[in-house]
Amino acid sequence: MGPSAGAEVVAAASPEERRRMIAEAAYFRAERRGFAVGGELDDWIQAEAEIDRLSELGSSRSKHSLRHM
């Protein structure tokens, strides 16, 4: 899987898959900060932004690939 493949997978994710990816990313953010109480919402918001950014990246790369077929 190349570097853009992950972004393309995120772009094609169903709402349930998107939520799972956000939850997983938020978990790893919490783990990095030692699961300290009080940062859960920030973890979720940052994870959501990260997944959405990857989704947009994957969508734009997919559209770019289709134009060159």
pLDDT at 45: 99
pLDDT higher than 60, residue 69: no
pLDDT at 67 over 70: no
* CA distance linking residue 49 with residue 9, whole number of Å: 16
What does the pLDDT read at residue 18?
Answer: 95
pLDDT in tens, 12-61: 789 999 999 999 999 999 999 999 999 999 999 999 999 999 999 887 76
> How much is the pLDDT for 5?
56
Please determine, for residue 1, whether its predicted confidence score (pLDDT) is greater than 80: no
